[in-house]
Copies of this chain bind each other. A is one copy, B any other.
Amino acid sequence: MISFLSISPNSDFSTHNLPFGVFKSKQGGAPRVGVAIGDYVMDLSVLDDAGLFAQTSFARQSIFGQSSLNAFMALGREAWRAMRNTLQNLLGADVPDLRDNAALREAALIPKSRVEMLLPVEIGDYTDFYSSSHHAHNVGTMLRGAENALMPNWKYLPVAYHGRSSSIAVSDTEIHRPRGQIMPPDAEGPIFAPSRSLDFELETGFFVGTGNSQGEPIPIERADEHIFGMVLVNDWSARDIQAWEYQPLGPFLAKNFATSISPWVVTLDALEPFKRPLPPQEPAPLSYLALEGDSTYDIHLQVTLQSERMAAPQVIARSNFKNLYWSMNQQLAHHTVNGCNSRTGDLLASGTISGSEPGSRGSLLELTWRGTQPLLLADGEQRRFLEDGDRVTFRGWCQGDGYRVGFGEVMGKILPARQP
C-alpha cells in the first residue's frame, strides 16, 4: 500500500498496522482517540469532525473524543474493519481528501514527540494466563524438579488467575520497588522489607472488544470476533513476596503493585498476515478448546535492560509469541465456558512468553535460573534481579515484506521503594 506519507520500512507503524490508542497533546487539552502512523499520531476526532468518516455507521457520534477506546471497541468487529479500511483509503497516495488538505493534515497528523500516550482502555477485569509450556516447565523445574515440572492439568486447560486492574499503567510509568512480607531462609518469621528479587515478565495481552452475557460462553470458533486487539504486557513480579504469600490461592501482592502495557492496541486484522499454526497439542484438547486452522501469530519479542550506568540498552532476551502453547481463542473460550461473562475492556494476558532456548526466556527468574547464573551486562555489572534505576523495555513486531506491523514498546524504570 503506497501512502502520501513517507514511512520507514523499519517503522512499527506502517499503513498495514494502524493501531488504536488514546493520547493528549503535551500542550494540554482533552484525551482523544488516535492511530499511530509512521512518526505521527492521527487524531480521529479531528477527522471525524471534518466529515471524513461520513460513510461509516458511527460517524459523528463522539466515539473518538473520549478518554478510552471502549466506546469504539463496543461497536464490534465490522466497525473496527470499516474504520481500518477508511483510514487505509484516506492515507492512500491517490486519495486527495487528506493528502491535499494542508490545514486538515496539520490538525490531524501530530508528531509523536508532541503527544503523551495514556492508558488506551478502561479495563474491566484483568486475567493473566500461564500459557507458555517453556515458562511453566522452567518455573516448575525450579520448584518441583524437572520430572514434576508441569502440573497434571497444564496440558488440558489454559491455567490462569485473576489479576488486578487498578494498577495497570501505560508505558513510561515509573515503578517503585514494592515492600512486603518476605521470609528469609532459616528465619523464624517473615520480615517486612523492600523486595530483593524484583523481576519482569515478558507477556502480551488482548482486549475483549465485545463481551458475552453471563451463562452464554463464547464458542472457540467465534472467539476472534470478540477480540479487539493486542498489546505488550510487563507483569512486574516480586519473587520473594510471591514465594511467601502464594500458597494456596496464588500470587497477590507480588504482582498487583503494578502491571505495564504498551499504549497502542494492534488489531487482529492487522495481525492476520502473520497467522501461523499453533504448536502441536498432545493430548488433543477437549472439543470446546479444539479449533481448525491457524491460530497463533509470528510476533517477534525482545527485552532490553539499561542500568543507570549503561550508555545504551542491552538486549537480554528474544522470544516470539508463537512459542505459546495455548492460543488466545482457546484462552477466551476456556474463560467463558463456565458461563463467566466478559465485557468490553477486559484484558487477558498470555503469561510469560519463554521459548525453548536459554536466550528466549522471558523473565530474570528464568534467565538467571533463580539468581544462580547472573546475567553479565555490557558495562561489567551483573544482574540476578532488577536494581533501582534499571529500565526494562519490551518491543514486539511482525516482519512483513518491506514493512512492519509493530507494537512499539512498553518501558518501565525501577525506582527505590518509597519511605513508608
A-to-B contact residues, CB < 8 Å: 124-125, 130, 151-153, 156-157, 159-167, 169, 176, 178-181, 183, 189-190, 192, 211, 214-217, 238, 241, 244-253, 256-258, 283, 286-288, 334-335, 337-343, 346, 418, 420
Contacts and interface: CB of A to CB of B under 8 A. Distances in A.
Contacts of A157: 181, 190, 244-245
Nearest to A188: B283
A215 B418 contact: yes
30 contacts: A125-B164, A125-B165, A125-B166, A153-B247, A156-B190, A157-B181, A159-B252, A160-B249, A161-B162, A161-B249, A162-B163, A162-B252, A166-B342, A178-B338, A181-B286, A189-B283, A192-B288, A214-B257, A214-B258, A238-B338, A241-B338, A246-B248, A248-B250, A249-B250, A249-B251, A250-B250, A253-B338, A253-B340, A256-B338, A339-B418
Nearest to A191: B286
Contacts of A340: 164, 166-167, 253, 256-257
A243 to B, nearest CB: 10
Task: Tell me if A's interface is mostly helix, strand, loop or mixed.
Answer: loop
A96 to B, nearest CB: 46
Contact of A166 (B245, B248, B346): B346
Given A190-B286, A287-B192, A346-B166, A337 B179 contact: yes
Contacts of A256: 162, 338, 340
